[in-house]
Structure 1
């Protein structure tokens, strides 16, 4: 990077809180405040087997004295909680689970389905899968601070688009915001456009490694070497892919000479245990 005179800085959002870290803290902040203001006693949200959002919501609920319900994708997981570090942690925080089929999970935004959940569980404060809504974007707008105005590029991994949208809205004139999609495809552009107030952003879709939570030996090797070189752990689903992509783009001359780049570490390190369990079953190297 010195040959290109490019500066790359990593903002450690993963260090915000020991249990609710990174963008999950930002997304949940104003949602939890709203739930308390509305005198809701329960948070209900959606997620998969190794969801950072599920773990963070369970932890936030426990800390704030709120009940939590996780609607989990995959009926087969009901008998596998003890083998799943994310679900086991959420359960230890007091989260109640409802396991549903992948087909039913697609109805998570359907009004009739939400009404059925209300009939089953009573009144609750609804947080969407991944936590992204207007209040989540508001929280993510607080990631960038005054010193960050000096950067030419602001980069973040993208799952549901809430974090990137917050960065777009709080970016300064002249800055370009790059989102590294952890999912296959460019359908997230529409979701980001719902809340984005500016057009200074681009979705990078070449570093998803096959899709959500898909990784290979190249990515594992990169993450382990990055930790060895910088003593910083990267999660394999989001920040690891972004940093791999950034390093590759720098190497291939994407950024002009003298560029200053700020990358956002969005946390998600709790998911490493679950990913390593999957890697061991496939006889692949694990994340150190």
Structure 2
């Protein structure tokens, strides 16, 4: 099983009158183009999990995801690509066979196990995980979203691939991407996370749990005011911004993760949050398959 060997993702420079007026240099790290089939930060997070699975000589993997989850989609693709049987616990209680993410996962021949929301809430509980280990012997368990110590290694690699900058920005769902990027950045670079869900102050603790070094570092923060109403929710203005960026800059965005980060960043630039001559790198973490789910639900 070879999980390495792909080229590094490109950097895209954004030129806009606002950026020129504010004297800001903005680059987008196009991790949505990192891997031909397993997009963005999901590839970064899965890469070393799959290496560890191989090292432990496990024969399959178990993980968790919502029915429209990018992680579910990416894991299904990785399962097919590397011929690793996968069992995915899906927040249910029922599977919608017409859901494009579920359809894709089934096409990849992964086993989907819908559970009630009550059972799904146990996904981090040690006793529940012990039961899963009995149910799926010799399986490697990857947490929801892929965020664990092995995921951090892949996200640290991402940070080390970046050119010199003053700020690095990323969307934050579970905290794993930010926690890993922090390990690969110079302390002089400020890391800004844009929380995509409401009431996300707890994510600061999640980042420290994943990366204890974060406790002593002062060069990172999570902004919680750009969630757009909560996880999976977004305003008409945000969706219009996403469409404009695609049309004018050939930069595809979805309004659940990276769109929220870019829209929030744009507002901060308008508000003179950054000193003149700042160099900013925004991480495009992929997740574009989520657009199919939004179209299916007639939300866009």
Instruction: Report the TM-score, using the length of structure 2 for normalisation.
Output: 0.89
Q: Indicate the residue corresponding to 2:253 in structure 1.
A: 234
2-structure distance, mates of 1:91, 1:121: 19
- 2:190 corresponds to: 176
Write the deviation string for residues 194-227 of structure 1: whole angstroms up to 9, x where unpaired: 2152331010111111111111211111111110
Q: How far off is 1:123 after superposition?
A: 2.6
2:150 aligned partner:
135
Distance 1:200 1:210 in 2: 27
Name 1:208's counterpart in structure 2: 227
Does the C-alpha gap of structure 1 residues 110 and 147 become closer, same or farther in structure 2, counting only changes over 3 Å?
Answer: closer
Q: Which runs of 5+ in 2 are unaligned?
A: 1-18
CA distance in 1, matches of 2:149, 2:131: 24
Deviations 1:23-68 (A, max 9, x none): 0111001100110111111110001011111111111111111101
Write the distance in 1 (CA, Å) between the matches of 2:193 and 2:291: 22
Q: CA deviation at 1:234?
A: 0.7
Count the aligned residue pairs.
277
Relative distance call for 1:146 and 1:58 in structure 2 (3 A) is: closer
CA distance in 1, matches of 2:140, 2:283: 29
Aligned counterpart, 2:6: none
CA RMSD in angstroms comes to 1.3
Corresponding residue for 2:203? 188
Q: Among 41, 50, 58, which residue is 1:40 paired with?
A: 58
| 2:116 maps to 1:98 | no
Alignment match, 1:153: 167
The equivalences for 1:259-270 within 5 A come to 259-270=278-289
Structure 1: gaps (5+ residues): none
Question: Is the CA contact 2:100–2:296 (under 8 Å) kept in the aligned structure 1?
Answer: no
Q: Would you identify which runs of 4 or more consecutive aligned residues in structure 1 move more than 3 Å?
A: none
Look up the match of 1:12. 30
Q: Quick check: 27-36 or 196-205, which moved more?
A: 196-205
2:46 is equivalent to residue 31 of structure 1:
no
When residues 5 and 170 of structure 1 are mapped into structure 2, their CA distance, relative to the original with a 3 A threshold, is same
1:51 to 69, 81, 85: 69
Q: Report if aligned partners of 2:173, 2:196 keep a CA contact under 8 Å in 1.
A: yes
Aligned residue in 1 for 2:277: 258
Provide, for residues 242-271 of structure 1, a one-character-per-residue CA deviation record: whole Å limited to 9, x for no partner: 000000100011111111100000000111
Superposition deviation, residue 114 in structure 1: 1.8
Pick which of 83-92 and 111-120 moved more. 111-120
Q: Partner of 2:221: helix, strand, or coil?
A: strand
Shift of 1:112: 2.1
Q: Which residue of 2 aligns with 1:273?
A: 292
**Does the 8 Å contact 1:180/1:203 carry over to 2?**
yes
Where 2:272 maps in the other structure, the secondary structure is coil
C-alpha displacement at 1:167, in angstroms?
1.2
- 1:21 paired to 2:35: no
Please tell me whether residue 118 in structure 1 is matched to residue 137 in structure 2. no
Taking the aligned partners of 2:227 and 2:50, their CA distance within structure 1 comes to: 31
SS at match of 1:143: helix
Contact 2:160 2:185 in 1 (8 A): no
Give the alignment's TM-score, normalised by structure 1.
Answer: 0.93
SS at match of 2:188: coil
User: Displacement, 1:110?
Assistant: 1.5
Distance 2:136 2:22 in 1: 57
3-state SS of paired residue (2:113): strand
1:108 alignment counterpart: 123
